[in-house]
Amino acid sequence: MSPDDIRRVLEFYQDLGIQSIYRRGTQLTPAPAAEPEPIFTFDDLPPMPPRTPAPKTIALIPLAPENDSLERIRADIGDCKRCRLCEGRNQIVFGSGNENSSLVFVGEAPGADEDASGLPFVGRAGQLLTQMIEGTAAKENIAITRADVFICNVVKCRPPENRAPQPDEMEICGQFLFRQLSAIKPKAICALGATAAKAVLGSKEGVTKMRGNWHKWRDIPVMVTYHPSYLLRPYNQNAKREAWEDLKKVLHFVYD
Ligand code: URA
């Protein structure tokens, strides 16, 4: 069987709700220590259906329970202790703004001000973000303020010393970010900085390469631009101009 055939078989059985398939003697998915003998082998599987390409949507595994809502997501996060970031945080910073917004901004992680207030982007970087949203909107005659958009982060707890979130922290918290995005269903997402771009798009490219063009998360257009903290550094003035251009594109796309 070619690797392609194996993948098709696995996808087919995943669609049927089968979660684990073990080759005799070789476990392909982790199982509890006391797990007995493998329950399936390829020899036991019924024949494959004809090779008709599956509709595209079947490949999208649901990320969220039906009728998900921000309220439910917040309740599911609870007093989260799923990763080490819980140890140093004061508060979980869930996100804020218009829950029915057509536009969601995704940052990296709360900093000290956000950890103290429970709200995203309220420190210096946050003030710059507010200025960028409201300044661009005013200049482009688009009648929105910060309160009209939704703002959240990839991880909801402040990392110690404001270090970048680690891959396992991003993965654990990413499920809640994806549920937020699915529940809000914005017309566009703006990923602020490399961490947000990586979490949302899974890409390893730098912001400089990705910014200015549209990408996609599921069916939602995603614009990547510089993180406001980066723009606060005095030697990044070119980037500042580019970020305003990116934002202009986003606002016209969403609100025209
Ligand atoms: N930087 C972020 O990425 N998020 C915040 O909420 C604040 C600063």
Query: What is d(CA 100, CA 150) in angstroms, rounded to the nearest whole number?
Result: 8
- CA 229 – ligand 1 centroid, Å: 8
Minimum CA distance residue for ligand 1 atom 7: 121
Domain ranges for the chain? 3-44, 70-255
Q: What is the pLDDT of residue 84?
A: 98
| % of the chain residues with pLDDT over 90 | 73
Using the predicted structure, report yes or no on whether residue 186 has a pLDDT greater than 50: yes
The answer to whether the CB of 246 is under 6 A from ligand 1 is no
- CA 154 – ligand 1 centroid, Å: 9
In this structure, whether the domain defined by 70-255 belongs to CATH 3.40.50.300 is answered with no
- CA 255 – ligand 1 centroid, Å: 24
What is the mean pLDDT of the segment spanning 234-255? 96
- CA 112 – ligand 1 centroid, Å: 9
Q: What is the pLDDT of residue 63?
A: 75
CB within 8 Å of 12: residues ≥ 6 apart: 48, 49
- CA 165 – ligand 1 centroid, Å: 12
- Minimum-distance ligand 1 atom for the alpha carbon of 228: 1
The answer to whether the CB of 95 is under 6 A from ligand 1 is no
| Token digits of residue 18 | 């089968």
Using the predicted structure, report yes or no on whether residue 148 has a pLDDT greater than 50: yes
- CA 107 – ligand 1 centroid, Å: 5
Q: What is the pLDDT of residue 13?
A: 55
Confidence tier at 27 by pLDDT (50, 70, 90):
very low
Burial degree of 165 (CB within 10 A; 0-12, 13-18, 19+): buried
The answer to whether the CB of 108 is under 6 A from ligand 1 is yes
- Minimum-distance ligand 1 atom for the alpha carbon of 193: 3
In tens, the pLDDT along 41-77 reads 556 555 665 655 555 545 556 778 899 999 999 999 9
Using the predicted structure, report yes or no on whether residue 79 has a pLDDT greater than 50: yes
Q: Which of 83 and 55 is assigned the larger pLDDT?
A: 83
The answer to whether the CB of 114 is under 6 A from ligand 1 is yes
- CA 108 – ligand 1 centroid, Å: 6
Q: What is the pLDDT of residue 31?
A: 46
Q: Which of 91 and 8 is assigned the larger pLDDT?
A: 91
* H helix runs in the chain, sequence order: 3-15, 70-77, 112-117, 124-139, 167-184, 193-201, 207-210, 228-231, 237-255
In tens, the pLDDT along 119-129 reads 999 999 999 99
The answer to whether the CB of 113 is under 6 A from ligand 1 is no
